[in-house]
Structure 1
Amino acid sequence: MNRRQYLASLSVLGTGALAGCLDDLSGLRDASSVGTQREPTVEMTRSYREADRDRRRAVGQLNRAALALRPLATELEDTGNVSVEFDEPRDRLADARTHLEDAEATDEGTAAAVAALRSFADVLAGVVETTAAVTDDAIPDAIDALSEEIDARRLEAAETTVAGLRARFATARDELDPALETLPELDRDRLEGLAVVDLEPIEEGLRLLDEVVVGLSNLGAALAATVDGHRCLERGEEQTEAERYDEAAASFDEAAAHYEAATAHSDDALDAPGGVGTYAETTRCQSVHLEEAALEFADSARALDERDPTGAARHEEAGAAALEAADDCV
């Protein structure tokens, strides 16, 4: 399994999509010069001029936050590893919010522009934080650790690892949802007049990020169901050794049900962008064979309960073959 393959095509996400629109910012100069260019008139009060300056500085910082993400597209496509520090766009967004607060406090007449820019900052923050979450090296590292824990039959540790992965995926969802909710409510005409970056690529990036997060959520559910199946499989083996064959058959049947659920969750993640589907393919391959193995072991236990050692041996052999096929999926 390529431990970082799912990162490799994330350049199509929000950060990569931003790169296209940032190419159009040919007039980007000093941060204070990005935004609506307006010469003060005699009607402008000092407070209005100060608010206008803070608002234009906020626009500059928002656009530069987007610009700071530009290298992500090439790095994710070429290596799957990210050298860009997310601290820069985070700091830019924090500075932009400060300028917006100053503009709002200085002149109430800028309230509509400030509100529009603040909403835009919220959307851009969603792109930054969600992308940071789904490209975190801790995710492939945890999946590697999970494979090792399952191989070593350290199922309690595997359960902890899966819980941690699902928590990370839930965090990505929590970062993304507010941005998705805010995006349709943006005052696009006002933002265009304020010279912010084009919204369409950002909207596409958020849509793709949503597909990635949905895929990761389904992958997490598949991994959890797989570990649950292993628990039942292990219990069935212990019950078989204790010659409690009816209980063993029930445990193996329960394992098969968990593996079937893992297959269903994996199916839902197969089409996720960014290589998530690659992990899902492996998980699905394993769960299909594991379900077959569990059912064979259940039939073996029933045969033993019915004092049919020949039939039990036949099913045991078929189950062992299915387990080997599951191992070959990796």
Structure 2
Amino acid sequence: MLTSSVERIEDVALELSVRGHFGHHLHAAVDACVSMNRRQYLSTAGGLAVVSSLAGCLGGVLGSDEGEQLPDDHRDEERAINRAVGKLNKAAVSIEGAESGLENPSEADFSPDEPQAFIDTARSELESVEDSDIAQELDSYADVLEAMIGVLKTLTDDSLAADVEAVSAEIDGGDTSDADDTLETRREETAEARRSYDGAMETLDGLDRGRLEEHSIVDLDRVESGVETLGDVLGSVESLLSGYDSMLAGHESLEEGEKRFDAGEYERAATAFESAADSFGDATETFADGESDAPSGLAEYFENGRCQSGHLETAGAAFADAATAADDGDIVDAQRSRSEGEDALEAAENC
């Protein structure tokens, strides 16, 4: 009974909002009534307070005369669109709630199931009116929300922090056999998230905001701000992974230099150590640049990475000097530089 009352009120509101033969003043009054109640109605469809409010408002304008009826197919289309809008608004609110926890992404409480279910239901409603222009616009808006869910899922994966810590520990311990596989998996995931983000921004820019707002979609400026927040955090994760990629490259060159040094190939050892220092220097720069913009939950990983890479850069340069001195036959300088390099390695382990 409550549902039929809502639909009946909706029918009258829709009919009067598109028909003009009741007179200019009556039409304006009904438009004001519908506008005043529309957002609340969409967000709490079926609520008794909304039914009473809207019914009272219309009653004051119409008295007991309900007027002519709109065609059934028109009413059904409007109802489907209104239901879709309500579900999309709920999805947007759910996503916005999760974004508030992105200062510490790995501890953010986000499940994609709820907003995705809202979007799926909205798409089902829109399928029945797929030829409608506004339905197509709403479907594009749903694409934006769906892309945001995908990015959020990547950023709030609670294993991200564990993977970063594992890679850092492997670099400290000198065994990086698993680190490259771990980083490769993360690179693929963030690359997919980046594609989703770019697609969301492109689609968002192409939306007809005026038409969507006429149908009571939530403030698109807030949605855009949310997408930009996702982009900022995603950029921080990308920087973090890039820094550790450079760290791994430096570690490989460091190992190569040690092998060449032990084999007495001092010139080739010096070249490898210099390459290691360059890679560690790139990592230091990446971590330093990313640290200032990183969310608080990721800042410690940037700080730790910068500490490690800075000392490892020093170690690589010292070992290169040792190899060059050894190649020149200067044993004293070679031993001194070698000792400086060992001290730098120990400092990196203590970060």
TM-score, normalised by the number of residues in structure 2: 0.77
| 2:126 partner letter | L
Structure 1 residue 26: deviation in Å?
5.6
Q: Would you say 1:197 and 2:212 are equivalent positions?
A: no
What is the aligned partner in structure 1 of residue 12 from structure 2? Answer: none
Question: What letter matches 2:335 in structure 1?
Answer: A
- Structure 2 residues without counterparts, runs of 5 or longer: 1-38, 59-65
Pairing of 1:116-135 with structure 2 (within 5 A): 116-135=137-156
Q: Which secondary structure does the structure 2 equivalent of 1:156 belong to?
A: coil
In the alignment, structure 1 residue 148 sits paired with structure 2 residue 166: no
The C-alpha deviation readout for 1:187-226, integer Å capped at 9, x for no partner, is: 1111111111111111112112112222222221111110
Residue 318 of structure 1 is matched in structure 2 by 340
Query: Is residue 255 of structure 1 aligned with residue 276 of structure 2?
Result: yes
Matches within 5 A, 1:240-251: 240-251=261-272
2:246 touches 2:282 (CA, 8 Å); kept in 1?
yes
- Structure 1 contact 216–269 (Cα < 8 Å) conserved: no
Q: What displacement does 1:283 show?
A: 1.6
Alignment partner, residue 13 of structure 2: none
Tell whether the 8 Å contact from 2:105 to 2:156 is kept in structure 1 after alignment: no
Q: Is the 8 A contact 1:208 1:273 kept in 2?
A: no
Aligned to 2:15: none
Q: Cα gap change, 1:271/1:181 in structure 2, threshold over 3 Å: closer, same or farther?
A: farther
What's the counterpart of residue 124 of structure 2?
98
Q: Which moved more, 1:67-76 or 1:292-301?
A: 67-76
Structure 2 partner of 1:81 = 107
Residue 209 in structure 1 maps to residue 230 in structure 2: yes
Q: Deviations over 1:290-314 (max 9, x none)?
A: 1111011011011111111110111
Letter in 1 for 2:163: A
Distance 1:31 1:256 in 2: 66
Aligned: 1:29 with 2:51: no
Identical aligned residues as a percent: 34
Residues 127-166 of structure 1 show CA distances to partners (whole Å, capped at 9, x for unaligned) of 2221121111121121122123223322231111111121
> What is the TM-score normalised by the length of structure 1?
0.82
In 2, the alpha carbon distance for the partners of 1:281 and 1:114 equals 48
- CA RMSD, Structure 1 to Structure 2 (Å): 2.7
The partner residue of 1:288 within 310, 321, 345 is 310
In the alignment, which residue of structure 2 is the partner of 1:224? 245
| CA distance in structure 2 between the partners assigned to 1:137 and 1:60 by the alignment | 31
**Compared with structure 1, are the counterparts of its residues 32 and 253 closer, same or farther at alpha carbon in structure 2 (3 Å cutoff)?**
farther
In 2, the alpha carbon distance for the partners of 1:113 and 1:131 equals 27
Give 1:137's match in structure 2, choosing from 158, 163, 168: 158
Letter matched to residue 324 of structure 1 = E
Give the direction of change, closer, same or farther, for the CA distance of 1:26–1:326 in structure 2 (3 Å limit). farther
* Distance change >3 Å, CA 60–CA 31, structure 1 → 2: farther
The structure-2 alpha-carbon separation of the partners of 1:26 and 1:244, relative to structure 1 and needing over 3 Å to count, comes to same
Code of the residue aligned with 1:127 in structure 2: it is M
2: CA distance between counterparts of 1:215 and 1:192?
Answer: 33
Match of 1:5 in 2: none
Secondary structure of 1:140's match?
Answer: helix
Contact 1:297 1:319 in 2 (8 A): yes
Return the alpha-carbon distance in structure 1 between the equivalents of residues 226 and 322 of structure 2.
51
Whose radius of gyration is greater, 1 or 2? 2
Structure 1 residue matching 2:309: 3-state secondary structure: helix
Aligned partners of 2:83, 2:349: CA distance in 1, in Å? Answer: 57
Greater RCO structure (CA 8 Å; 6+ sep): 1
The match for 1:237 among 242, 258, 271 is 258
**Preserved contact between residue 229 and residue 255 of structure 1 (Cα < 8 Å):** yes
